[in-house]
Chains A and B, each alone.
Chain A
Amino acid sequence: MARMKFLCDADRCIECNACVTACKNEHEVPWGINRRRVVTINDGLPGERSVSMACMHCTDAPCAAVCPTNCFYTTDDAVVLHSKDTCIGCGYCFYACPFGAPQYPKVGNFGTRGKMDKCTYCAGGPEADMTQAEYVKYGSNRLAEGKLPLCAEMCSTKSLLAGDGDIIAEIYKERVVTRGYGSGAWGWRTAYGDTITV
């Protein structure tokens, strides 16, 4: 089985936000929630870089560690998913996540946040694959169809890569060697404990 990861090659990202839009459309993500977002660092300055960020599907995911109801699980592809049936909307995962991935439909007092929503790596949830029940809660299940996450698949500059960690790391290394520079595998050190060294 593959160890699925995301990698955003910030030297290619043009901040078109198509990954954000595609994700929202593919999964019918509710208003106010962005499973993926593009953050621009040093905006307007020389050397500005944009990074597309979503759930990084961490190794030893901190969200899963702090969840009081143990609603998270990791698939064979190392994708971190959760069950909206067991989520109680306590907010712990939001505070444990280094990437701001978990979000809630509401920001209410008295813990009325609703069920947590986050990037599923286009892999749905605990319901049976590609069912209506799964789609309503988590969006489409492209992995079950043999496809990779849509955000990466439709990235026009191929900045955002999704797939087996070793393969996309190899692609990134090749690019860095060829063009002579690279701003790093954003989030990898935090998510997987190790970054890509070229």
Chain B
Amino acid sequence: MTMRTFATRCAALIGLVTMLAFAAAPAVQAQQINPTEKSVTEDMLFQQMQGDGMVSGRVSIPDEQSGGLIKPGHKGWAGTHTGTVRFLTIAAVLGAVVVLGLFYLLRGRIRVDGGMSGIRILRFTAVERFAHWLMAGSFVVLALTGLNLVLGRLLVLPWLGEAAFATLTTWGKISHNYVAWAFMLGLVMSFVVWISHNIPDKVDAEWIKQGGGLLKKGVHPPAKKFNAGQKVIFWSVTLGGAALSFTGVMLLFPGVEILGLGATQADWQLYQLIHGIVAAVLSFIIIAHVYIGSVGMEGAFDAMGSGEVDLNWAKEHHSLWVDEVEERAKTAPAGKATLPAE
């Protein structure tokens, strides 16, 4: 047998086997594969969608997150962000201005009824004022840059122009990300120095019953170092600030699980919504706080300005605290009486 005939026979054999294989194939295929019945469909996957709210599969690229094919819920986040969050933010800021404007028109500036005595007593030490202004200063930066992210596009962009607004917002973002740490430090400091004075007690109930004396002239319910209203501010700032700090830190480090807490896209969306809503509510409270601590009440700013307040102002608004201070001054050794330590 020559090589040639062997090769020819081999080829014939291979050909025959191949033909037989193909001839048998349709029967097998008809049994096993029916693309109409077994193929996945988008409708079916949408109906079967699990808690993670996505249709996903396998990708061959290294970025495993890109295996999420369709996440319809993301449009829901977008809707809440541009709907609820934006609405609440506008309502909080405008609402605060309207409420305080009306309050000013009806009540006017709250004066010291007994007039200024000229005697000043120390209300807040340098450490307390530092904590307050560290937090206050950083809050203003954070609030303005945050508001710019939510409302800047509607209010600032039209008159600043695209390029200038982009530059402003870029710097706003950078400030927001770094100034946040000063806020967190101030938050911790103020919590430490003031927590002992902010535990709710019986005096607060009476203060609230009398509306804090805010609505009527000459009414001054007794209060210790902090009245019930100020305690509300303290706890709003502490709890709200903690919520903002936590969600903010989670947003600063995308994909990093801090304390084992989720860092997926869905978690980020939740953190962002909490951050936005808490910020709106806190902005309302802080605007009211700024008002009553400055133009709203005569003599109030001194407490955080120089740290020393007029004795008559203190007697009217923090009668029990003045008693405490005077009590301590009596028992304290001579010479220190003029400088009562809060």
Contacts and interface: CB of A to CB of B under 8 A. Distances in A.
Contacts of B61: 20, 34, 37
B56 A39 contact: yes
B41 A92 contact: no
B35 A11 contact: yes
Contact of A39 (B69, B74, B77, B166): B69
A187 interface: yes
A49 B42 CA distance: 10
Interface in B224-279: 252-256, 265, 268-269, 272
A183 B42 contact: yes
Interface stretch (A106-114, A127-135, A151-159, A161-169): A106-114
Contacts of B255: 107
Interface in A87-109: 87-92, 94-100, 107, 109
A85 to B, nearest CB: 7
Interface stretch (A66-74, A117-125, A136-144): A66-74
A173 to B, nearest CB: 15
B52 interface: no
A147 interface: no
The 5 closest A-B pairs by CB, nearest first: A47-B38, A62-B78, A184-B42, A96-B78, A181-B36
B272 A41 contact: no
A69 B59 contact: no
Interface stretch (B18-26, B106-114, B147-155, B202-210): B147-155
Given A40-B57, A41-B40, A43-B57, 7 more contacts: A37-B59, A41-B69, A67-B153, A69-B166, A96-B77, A111-B177, A181-B35
B63 interface: yes
A184 B69 CA distance: 14
B40 A39 contact: no
Contacts of B58: 39-40, 43
24 contacts: A37-B61, A39-B58, A41-B40, A42-B57, A49-B40, A50-B57, A65-B78, A65-B79, A69-B153, A69-B165, A70-B157, A91-B254, A95-B77, A95-B265, A98-B75, A99-B71, A100-B65, A107-B255, A109-B254, A111-B252, A186-B70, A187-B42, A187-B70, A190-B75
A195 B42 contact: yes
Given A53-B69, A180-B36, A195-B42, A41 B57 contact: yes
B60 interface: yes
Contacts of A43: 57-58
Given A11-B39, A49-B39, A107-B254, A95 B57 contact: no
Name the prevailing secondary structure of the A interface residues.
Answer: loop
Interface string A55-67: 0000000110111
B63 A96 contact: no
Contacts, number: 163
A148 interface: no
Contact of A92 (B43, B81, B166, B256): B81
- The size class of the interface chain B forms with chain A is 35 or more
Interface in A171-195: 180-187, 189-190, 195
B170 interface: yes
Contacts of B59: 37-40
Interface of B: 32-33, 35-43, 45-46, 55-61, 63, 65-75, 77-79, 81-82, 148-150, 152-153, 157, 162-163, 165-166, 169-170, 173-174, 177-178, 252-256, 265, 268-269, 272
Contacts of A185: 42
A100 B250 CA distance: 20
B221 to A, nearest CB: 45
A46 interface: yes
B163 to A, nearest CB: 7
Given A37-B61, A107-B254, A96 B41 contact: no
A96 B78 CA distance: 5
A72 B17 CA distance: 61
A1 to B, nearest CB: 24
A32 interface: yes
A61 B197 CA distance: 51
A111 B145 CA distance: 14
Contact of B169 (A11, A41, A65, A68): A68
B169 A88 contact: yes
Contacts of B169: 68-69, 88
Nearest to A93: B78
A48 interface: yes
A34 B152 CA distance: 31
A32 B165 contact: no
Q: Which of A20, A97, A110 has the largest count of B CB atoms less than 10 A from its CB? A: A110
Contacts of B78: 62-63, 65-66, 96
Contacts of B178: 110
A97 B74 contact: yes
Contacts of A184: 41-43
